[in-house]
Amino acid sequence: MTTTSKDPILVVLQLTGGNDYLNTVIPYTNPLYRDNRPVVGVAEDRVLPLDDKVGFHPEMGPMKTIYDRGDMAIIHGVGYPNSPRSHFRSMDIWHTCEPDKLGTEGWLGKATKDIDPNKENVLTSVAFGASLFRALVLPGVPVAVVDDLDTYGLLPGISEQTQRARILDRFARLYSPAIGTGAVMDYLGQTGLDTLEGADILKQAPQMYSSSVEYPDTVISKRLKGIAQIHMANLGTRIFYVDHGSFDSHSNQVGMHDKLWQDVSQGVECFFDDLKEHGVGDNVIMLMFTEFGRRTHDNGSGTDHGAGGAAFVLGENVKGGQYGEYPSLESRDLEQGDVVPNHDFRGLYSTILEDWMHLDAKPIVEGSFEKFSYLG
């Protein structure tokens, strides 16, 4: 059995593009749902009921399994006031907790700094994908960005090892903070040094891994498997970040949304099964969020950008159930045709930061916001 230290670990799965709240956690007994969703509505007999009010999208069977065993909190009506309904601005706001001005410091970048103030581990935070999520950005804080664990390494083309060592040694000197000035040079320098250090460590992870869990052959499953491998290799990573999408279902929503949730649900189930098989799941939670929900009324093929959405927190030590209130679908309660968020996303972050990561949330989210008790 693999052993891990029992520091709390957070995995963030970002549902990029604006996941449709109403067709994910479906208020299937509410007649207003039917009225608003003449085209993309999910028939009542296909909904996977959670209770007599709401149920999951039919492709979320594996998510329901997790919910049913009490390992998932559904947080209703998450968002923030005055949604700009722009993907990009909205995602920036989620990443930086700055609704009014341009934020450059990510909430998890700040969390990483609190966890590892002296930068003892370049792998405290690891992102999977081709780009670095702004949520993880903070000057001076290392983040390893991995697209493929199997090919991660510098100058593999130089086969002669003494020569490679000689060049890499000089590489480290050329990236030292003593050379060059300015934020971008510093950032490049630090990234280069962290890459050099992280690459050798990360290479071990797939070699140490074996599992009976067979992940499906999808992008999100491959990345979640990589996260499981790094977690099991016990490299001290505390924050993982990955995304999947695009959930931007303006048109042909029916088939598109089905496939997205099929891939996500299956991947997430395999991930938690994998951790369970190795006995390393009890210190891991996963947050799933999206930048906004979608418009209440469908547009005849899909749904346009909206405001309030749902978030999910999963893990063996999560107190499962539903938190907060499903926002009203009554037309007099809608704002510009959207359900109005009633739980500030910074409260969601605060709950995770304080009750799970044991960090001080106030300086990270810049204020005090309502918390729920799914983590303690």
Partner 1 sequence: MADHDIALMSHLLRRAGFGAPREELEARAAKGYEATVEELLNPKTQEIADRDEMMRYHPWTWRPGTLPGMGAAEWLHDMVNTENPLEEKMALFWHQVFATGVSKVDHYDDVMDMIVKFRQKGMGDFRVLLLEMAQDPAMIYWLDNCDNHASAVNENWGRELLELFSLGVGNYTEVDVRECSRAFTGWTIQPKLPRGPIGRHDWFFQFKEEDHDDGEKTFLGETGNLNGDDIIRIISEQPATAMFIARHLYNFFVADEAQVPAWAVTPPIDQEAIDLLTDTLIESNYDIRSTLRVLFNSEFFKNARFARLKSPTEVVVGTLRLVGGAEFPAPGIGDLSRQPSYMGQDLLNPPSVEGWHTGAEWINSGSLMRRVNFTAELVGDVERPGIKSLVERLQSQGDKSAEKVVDGCLDLMGPLEVQPESRVELIQFVGEKGEFGWSSPEQTEESKARVSELLQLIVSLREYQYA
Cα–Cα distance measured from residue 302 to residue 339, given in angstroms and rounded to the nearest whole number: 16
**Sign of the torsion angle spanned by Cα atoms 97, 98, 104, 105:** negative
CB 138, min distance to partner 1, A: 13
CB 129, min distance to partner 1, A: 8
Nearer to partner 1, 243 or 274 (CB): 243
Nearer to partner 1, 299 or 328 (CB): 299
Nearer to partner 1, 23 or 350 (CB): 23
Task: Name beta bridge partners: 286.
Answer: 11, 314
Q: Give the C-alpha distances (Å, rounded to integers) separating 372 from 26, 99, 238, 319, 320.
A: 22, 22, 22, 10, 12
Does an H or E element contain 134, and which?
Answer: none
Backbone φ, ψ for residue 182 (5° rounding): 105, 155
DSSP H stretches of helix in 209-322: 219-232, 253-277
CB 156, min distance to partner 1, A: 7
| Interaction site with partner 1 (CB under 8 A) | 16-17, 84-89, 92, 100-102, 127, 130-132, 142-147, 152-158, 163, 166-167, 170-171, 173-175, 178-180, 183-185, 187-189, 191-192, 194-195, 198-199, 246, 248, 250-252, 299-302, 304-305, 336
CB 108, min distance to partner 1, A: 14
Nearer to partner 1, 192 or 321 (CB): 192
Nearer to partner 1, 1 or 184 (CB): 184
CB 202, min distance to partner 1, A: 10
Q: Is 189 in a helix, a strand, or coil?
A: helix
Geometric angle at alpha carbon 346, from 345 and 347, rounded to 5°: 85
